[in-house]
């Protein structure tokens, strides 16, 4: 495995950290994201993109190891951002449903790929 293959996933993780660790008042609002549970969809999508980039970066590993790495990445990044939101941000709150959306979003591309390979 070449470390350079992980640069896109690392860069996207930095984007996730910026988005989830910023005060919500500093982030732009989009009219097309004004529907119930849109924040959960956003969480799932940004973690799905990270998952795809991580799978690409880890393509030389066995599939089981890749799945484990993606699951660990989603749990660590998701848990850390939700904890930080809960403890340190005034305009955001850490929520279990957000963590669930993070992990579900990260696992969705893995499930789709597994179904395609079957």
On whether the CB atoms of residues 17 and 81 are closer than 8 A, the answer is yes
pLDDT value of residue 40: 92
Within a domain: 70? yes
- Total count of domains within the chain: 1
What's the mean pLDDT in 93-116? Answer: 96
d(CA 8, CA 65): 19
Burial state string for 1-28 with b = 16 or more CB within 10 A and e = fewer than 16? eeeeebebbeebbeebeeebeeeeeeee
HSE value, Cβ hemisphere, 13 Å, CA-based, for 48: 14
Within a domain: 108? yes
Can you give the residue range of the structural domain that contains 86? Answer: 38-118
Within a domain: 25? no
Neighbours of 85 (CB within 10 A): 20
On whether the CB atoms of residues 53 and 5 are closer than 8 A, the answer is no
pLDDT value of residue 38: 81
pLDDT value of residue 11: 98
What's the mean pLDDT in 78-98? Answer: 94
- Token look-up 């640069």 returns 7
pLDDT value of residue 117: 81
Is 23 or 47 the better-scoring residue by pLDDT? Answer: 47
Which has the closest alpha carbon to 6: 79, 60, 74, 63?
A: 60
Q: Mean pLDDT in the chain?
A: 92
Global pTM value: 0.90
Within a domain: 4? no
Residue 26 confidence (pLDDT) above 70: no
Within a domain: 67? yes
Within a domain: 87? yes
Q: DSSP label at 22?
A: S
Within a domain: 80? yes
């Amino acid at each position: 495995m070449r470390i350079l293959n992980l640069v896109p996933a690392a860069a996207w993780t930095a984007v996730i950290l910026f988005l989830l660790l910023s005060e919500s008042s500093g982030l732009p609002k989009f009219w097309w994201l004004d529907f119930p549970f849109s924040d959960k969809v956003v969480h799932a999508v940004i973690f799905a993109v990270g998952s795809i980039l991580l799978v690409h970066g880890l393509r030389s590993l066995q599939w089981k190891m890749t799945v484990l790495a993606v699951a660990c990445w989603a749990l660590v990044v998701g848990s850390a951002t939700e904890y930080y939101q809960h403890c340190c941000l005034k305009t955001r709150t850490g929520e279990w449903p957000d963590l669930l959306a993070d992990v579900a979003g990260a696992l969705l591309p893995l499930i789709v790929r597994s179904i395609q390979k079957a």
